[in-house]
Amino acid sequence: MRRDDCIAALARHRTDQIVVAAYHAAFDLMRIQPHPLNYLSIGAMGLASSNALGLALGRPDKQVIVLDGDGSLLMNLGSLVTIAEAAPRNLIHFVCENGTYEANGGHPIPGQGRISFAGFAKAAGIERVYEFSDLADFESEIGGLLRTQGPVFATLKVEPGAESPKDWNFIHGPETRARFKAALKQA
């Protein structure tokens, strides 16, 4: 499956959720579905899951979706245990698994092809764990997944899709953070 196709499928089901997206998923999300409640987690690899957990706990009235990368999650596997312990009902964690640190030039992640992110999530204590490698299956399940009480974890076996523009000024711009904060206050 292509990552951007997965994000487009998710976008078709999105209503007013907060979406925390890391690195290439963030650029894809900006291209596919610009939204004031997009939280772009760039510059601190591994923290998308922790940022999403904080938002989920701070805003239990809003569903929070995290679009993480496999390399990013490897840098913060402990967040899975913390998420399981906190058990936020409003958190859905997607991991885009392509076996590389794509943001750093496509270097292979340790254990590429031998580790199971769904297995990590289950071992951490997350009860609702899924894995998708077929876009049609993901598209048929995404609506139900978004209605499932969290925490939910799903591995998306992906490959890169169309190249998304890398607008670093937008991502790191103060107006982007201000727009997110204002949207969060209104929501």
Q: What is the pLDDT of residues 139-177, one digit of tens each?
A: 999 999 999 999 999 999 998 776 766 777 777 778 888
Q: What does the pLDDT read at residue 170? A: 73
Query: Is residue 4 helix, strand or coil?
Result: helix
Sheet order of strands, 38-41 included: 38-41, 18-22, 64-69, 91-97, 152-157, 128-132
Q: Is the pLDDT of residue 76 over 90?
A: yes
Domain range 3-186, CATH architecture? 3-Layer(aba) Sandwich (3.40)
What value does the mean pLDDT take over residues 66-70? 93
pLDDT of residue 109: 66
Tell me the pLDDT band of 65, cut-offs 50, 70 and 90.
Answer: very high
Backbone angles phi, psi at 162, to 5 degrees: -60, 145
Q: pLDDT at position 173, please?
A: 78
* C-beta of residue 92 within 8 angstroms of C-beta of residue 66: yes
Q: Rounded distance, CA 47 to CA 183, Å?
A: 21
Residue with the two structure tokens 């958190």: 91
Strand runs (DSSP E) across the chain, as ranges? 18-22, 38-41, 64-69, 91-97, 100-101, 107-108, 128-132, 152-157
Is residue 102 over pLDDT 80? no
Quote the pTM value.
0.91
Q: Determine the residue type at 187.
A: A
